[in-house]
Structure 1
Amino acid sequence: MSAKGWIHLPRKEGTTSRQAHADLPAGSFEREIGRDGFFGPASHIYHPHPPTGWTSFEGPMRPRAFDAVAAAQESSDPLRAQPLLHNAAVKLRIWSADRPMRDLVRNADGDELLFVHQGVGDLFCDFGHMAYGEGDYILMPRGTMWRLEPSQRTVALLIEATNGAFKLPERGILGPHAIFDPAALETPALDEAFKAQQGDCQTRVLVKRRDAISTITYPFNPLDAIGWKGEIAAMKLNWRDIRPVMSHRYHLPPSVHATFVADRFVVCTFVPRPIESDPGALKVPFFHSNDDYDEVIFYHAGDFFSRDNIKPGMITFHPSGFTHGPHPKAFAAGAQRARNSTDEVAVMIDARDALDMSEAARVQEVPSYADSWKSP
């Protein structure tokens, strides 16, 4: 039998809870030390003081927050938007446009996953046409030619996977239709709108390869497909089609909210859900030391009750190496009996390798964010 087949019984010392994230010893705070994100082994340590009860936080490794939308680059060319956070496997950019893109673009460096924070419009690509709107994920396979025609100013988070393709996460015993049914993924159509944009007009295609832009000019619009078939296509999914896994007796880890997985990072979507009703269950995210992954959250909409002074359009960045968790006010909010559900939509990117933060993000940083855990 392989090592994966063995059950590893955890050890126990001192005063602990019987079940993680529930019925904590009186007056204690639980801290999870986890490996491999939330997918690996873990231990839980119980403290009389909040693990985030620091009085100061100094040095380059620190919790960070910045206004991503304020850092959005307004242009007709999303490929030139500078990354806010990046490593060898993933690049996170923010881009906005209030008019149709002049040129087609083609990312030869990786798959492109757009999350539409604001705006509505139309997407034209190799595979056809489809409308888009607020809250849509749009997945463009590596090498796809595409352009957007916004009918309202569009702001999008761009997540580029440079080491491999985006895939759907394994659902295991939940079955393939849990979280969202793959049939909810929409693909473009070769409809009348797609045919109407074709013609013998000079068209430029901007191609990004090794972060450099090359230009290919055609005497016609190369989005001229008459048909396609196969397993690779652009696709769209709205957060409203995501139905989260829940437990009324236990606060589930963020990994259950995985929407897409790629090489060395995962994309999760937090959507409104019922708050745990079991009297002893934690009703806010638990304190954790996620020591193998850098954690990034883009806040899209709603009331982020586990975070203080965070508004839609902001990003928090928690590099690995320190304990983090809910702000002090979140405990009171989670305990309110009148509140029976969350009201927040957010995109989380957990990266296996350290992320670098760009100057564009630093300009919009909230310097006091590390102090926001201090008791009021």
Structure 2
Amino acid sequence: MNVIQRSAAVETAGYMSGFGNGFETEALPGALPVGRNSPQRCAYGLYAEQLSGSPFTAPRATNERSWLYRIRPTIAHWNSLRPRAPGLWRSAPCEEGRDLPPAPYRWAPVPVPQNAGSFIEGIRTVTTAGDSDAATGMAASLWLCDRSMTDEVFWNADAEMLLVPQMGTLLLRTEFGRIHLAPGEIAVIPRGVKFAVDVEGPSRGYLCENYGGAFTLPERGPIGANCLANPRDFLTPVAHYEDRETPHRLVVKWGGRLWETELPWSPLDVVAWHGNYAPYKYDLRRYSPVGPLLFDHADPSIFTVLTAPSETPGTANIDFVIFPDRWMVAENTFRPPWYHMNVMSEFMGLIYGQYDAKPEGFKPGGISLHNRMLPHGPDVDAFEGASRAELKPHKLEGTMAFMFETRLPQRVTDWAAGLAERERGYEHYGRALKRYFDPARP
């Protein structure tokens, strides 16, 4: 489906809807060439540039690319790059945290410090998994920032970036257009897409760098055509360009390191584009959950919003899973998440509200990590309460938790291990669970 900004509703919103569609959009009339991608001379004196998110020979269903019509091509933005200090940003493989014993971990919310800096300066990595050069695995970070990226632009050549804001609103100025982002929403910036982040006051959020295949919608299987995340609710920005001949800093993440250079202009200069490789946003409150209607407990995979597949069918490089408002109606069933160990490692965050398996200790802005094949489950208060509760239909409201779940073990960085907000002794929460076994009482 090709969409050009014709609908008044679309133009007002500044977005086009649909996931994985082919879009076309222009900020100046006639900027998009008709019937060809790279004409001999582009309208308005623009340059044609293709951005490919997949190999050229990828099958049609997985082939990702967009044509950009811009004031200058990216190669014209290229000056000699110099190394830039990464701060507390880390990439996999990372040797930090090797001496930290395998155990469940949890962190209280980390406050945004004064003069935290820009989005790029404020990224602090919590866990890494896999190998960015081998295009497998992920990194999970916090951003803590209070300054807009004025005259500074970034692109990540190593990873697709999933942004989950928890506090404060953002304006993402991308090559493809502008995205407003608030807590309860997410945005995905594909590999190689240039962008800048403007903030209004302090901002805190969770960042997942996906080194592997791009995020896509999970298959619904027997669920059928509807529910979960519906494609029409994903929004892609319409074209918006900056024609500013003022000094800019360009920052690039490549090979697990940061590099930078100076430019005499803004590189966010795409006047028109078409294709299916573009940033997008999604409001998590539009997710349509499904669940057990009579008894028992479904696997948390029923709450998958996006999945990044691996080479092993059914095993994700990353799943992005949420726990939103929903009804609990199962009869004769322990309703919170059960005690379990599994092959996926779970980085969890709470955007707002209360999480039913940890009603007291897990706070908005906090983090927990339950790694591959390590035990976890409800704390004693959640267990005792759920075991004795009268099982009437109950609605969980005002809550939004999520997981970055990967098949790979997640290594905790030195920064995260040393935080005062890390709850020492959290791994012992299971010791408070009482023995109830009595062979004389069935």
TM-score w.r.t. the length of structure 1 is 0.77
Q: How many residues align?
A: 312
Structure 1: gaps (5+ residues):
1-58
Are residue 231 (structure 1) and residue 282 (structure 2) matched?
no
Which residue number in structure 2 is paired with residue 161 of structure 1? Answer: 210
Q: 1:183-210 CA deviation, whole Å, 9 max, x = no partner?
A: 10011122xxx45x53111222100001
Are residue 317 (structure 1) and residue 369 (structure 2) matched?
yes
Residue of 406, 409, 413 corresponding to 1:351: 406
Distance 1:79 1:243, change over 3 A: farther
In the alignment, the residues of structure 2 paired with residue 245 and residue 286 of structure 1 have an alpha-carbon distance, to the nearest angstrom, of 18
Distance 1:370 1:305, change over 3 A: same
Aligned-pair CA distance for 1:128: 0.5
What are the equivalent positions in structure 2 for 1:60-71 lying under 5 Å apart?
60-70=101-111
Q: 1:247-298 CA deviation, whole Å, 9 max, x = no partner?
A: 22232111111111124221111101111242x12211111121x2212211
Which residue number in structure 2 is paired with residue 100 of structure 1? Answer: 148
In the alignment, the residues of structure 2 paired with residue 189 and residue 275 of structure 1 have an alpha-carbon distance, to the nearest angstrom, of 39
Aligned-pair CA distance for 1:354: 1.1
Are residue 85 (structure 1) and residue 124 (structure 2) matched?
no
Aligned-pair CA distance for 1:327: 1.4
**What SS does structure 2 have at the residue aligned with 1:180?**
coil
Distance 1:119 1:176, change over 3 A: farther
Distance 1:355 1:155, change over 3 A: same
Which residue number in structure 2 is paired with residue 253 of structure 1? Answer: 299
Q: Is residue 297–residue 349 contact of structure 1 (8 Å, CA) maintained in 2?
A: yes
Residue of 371, 375, 396 corresponding to 1:342: 396
Are residue 368 (structure 1) and residue 425 (structure 2) matched?
yes
What are the equivalent positions in structure 2 for 1:128-277 lying under 5 Å apart?
128-190=177-239, 194-195=240-241, 197-249=242-294, 250-262=296-308, 263=310, 264-277=317-330
Structure 2: gaps (5+ residues):
1-99, 131-136, 311-316, 435-442
In the alignment, the residues of structure 1 paired with residue 229 and residue 163 of structure 2 have an alpha-carbon distance, to the nearest angstrom, of 18
Q: Which amino acid aligns with 2:276?
A: E
Distance 1:176 1:230, change over 3 A: farther
> Would you identify which runs of 4 or more consecutive aligned residues in structure 1 move more than 6 Å?
none
Q: Is residue 298–residue 348 contact of structure 1 (8 Å, CA) maintained in 2?
A: yes
Q: Is residue 64–residue 316 contact of structure 1 (8 Å, CA) maintained in 2?
A: yes
Q: Is residue 153–residue 267 contact of structure 2 (8 Å, CA) maintained in 1?
A: no
Once the two structures are overlaid, the 10-residue window that deviates more, 263-272 or 135-144, is: 263-272
Aligned-pair CA distance for 1:68: 4.9
Residue of 140, 143, 159 corresponding to 1:110: 159
Aligned-pair CA distance for 1:353: 1.3
Aligned-pair CA distance for 1:217: 2.8
Q: Is residue 298–residue 347 contact of structure 1 (8 Å, CA) maintained in 2?
A: yes
TM-score w.r.t. the length of structure 2 is 0.66
In the alignment, the residues of structure 2 paired with residue 80 and residue 282 of structure 1 have an alpha-carbon distance, to the nearest angstrom, of 41
**What SS does structure 1 have at the residue aligned with 2:381?**
helix
**What SS does structure 1 have at the residue aligned with 2:382?**
helix
**What SS does structure 2 have at the residue aligned with 1:267?**
strand
Q: Is residue 79–residue 208 contact of structure 1 (8 Å, CA) maintained in 2?
A: no
Q: 1:201-247 CA deviation, whole Å, 9 max, x = no partner?
A: 12221000012112233222111111111111100012111121122
In the alignment, the residues of structure 2 paired with residue 328 and residue 175 of structure 1 have an alpha-carbon distance, to the nearest angstrom, of 38
Aligned-pair CA distance for 1:326: 1.2
Q: Is residue 206–residue 213 contact of structure 1 (8 Å, CA) maintained in 2?
A: yes
Q: Is residue 119–residue 144 contact of structure 2 (8 Å, CA) maintained in 1?
A: no
Q: Is residue 119–residue 197 contact of structure 2 (8 Å, CA) maintained in 1?
A: no
Q: Which amino acid aligns with 2:366?
A: M
In the alignment, the residues of structure 2 paired with residue 77 and residue 148 of structure 1 have an alpha-carbon distance, to the nearest angstrom, of 6
Are residue 305 (structure 1) and residue 351 (structure 2) matched?
no
RMSD, matched Cα: 2.2
In the alignment, the residues of structure 2 paired with residue 94 and residue 323 of structure 1 have an alpha-carbon distance, to the nearest angstrom, of 25
